[in-house]
Amino acid sequence: MDRHLTEAEKMSFDEEGYLIIRDLLHSRETSELQQWAQEIHDAPVNANSTLMPYEEIDAHGRHILCRTENFANSHAELNSLLRGEKLLSVLRDLSGEDMLLFKEKINYKLAGAGGDAAHIDSSAYTHVKKIKHLAVNIAVDSMTPSNGGLEIVKGSHKMHVPIAADNCIEPAWIVSQAWIPVELAAGDALILGSSLARRISCEYEPTGPEGVVCDVQLCWRRRPARRVLCETEGGVATYSFAEGWRDVRGWCAEVWVW
């Protein structure tokens, strides 16, 4: 069933740069999401796998899985969730256009793991001209300050946010702002505009609860930037974006609906 936004929700997003949706998934769907995320975590990765895992080495020299990307095309249920009308109807209400799935990833927030430096997403996509995008975080487990929850600066999408040479926010701006923790229960969704300042603090509890978050990035643009049709298979077209973008998929019937 579609989930359409109220006028108050739209106004809140426009003013604050983010929106929390508490009723995107009901309890059964949340339990299914937790099962699907575990399946991606446990999936074997070999030369034939399309999954893109990312590992780091912890203080004990162990390889720890921190993130898995590129799973929607190989996992039917997650594909239906991320490309389904329930989520897309919400994003269409916010953007006024059909949304395209650009990138999907599952982040595994392990106890005592590092944070994420303060940044805005839009600075990472300047090589693709004037493209807009939204980030959607769906909490697989609860997301709180104790397990590496996100912090944002309300309304920062309307501010000038200075970016340093490392593509992170300038330290002086960071300390001058009020950072607000965003807490999510399992099944909640957080939608962020690409110009909103965000970070994950490194100061959460070293032995606290772990958490898993499914991050989705969806893009929209009236005309694609240097898009090339690579192949068509089973009614699905694969498009390659120049300038380092990896392949994304969409339905041939309407290119801009993902």
Tens of pLDDT, residues 195-247: 999 998 765 455 455 666 666 655 544 333 333 333 434 444 333 333 333 33
**pLDDT for the residue numbered 130:** 62
First to last CA, the chain: 17
Which domains does the chain possess?
7-224 (2.60.120.620)
pLDDT tens digit sequence for 39-88: 999 999 888 899 999 988 877 888 888 889 999 999 999 999 999 999 99
> Is the Cα dihedral 218, 219, 225, 230 positive or negative?
positive
Q: Cα–Cα distance between 189 and 64 in angstroms, integer?
A: 26
Say whether pLDDT at 151 is over 50.
Answer: yes
Percent of the chain topping pLDDT 90: 47
pLDDT band at 133 (very low <50, low <70, confident <90, very high): confident
Burial 119-138 (b: 16+ CB within 10 A, else e): bbbbeebeebeebbbbbbbb
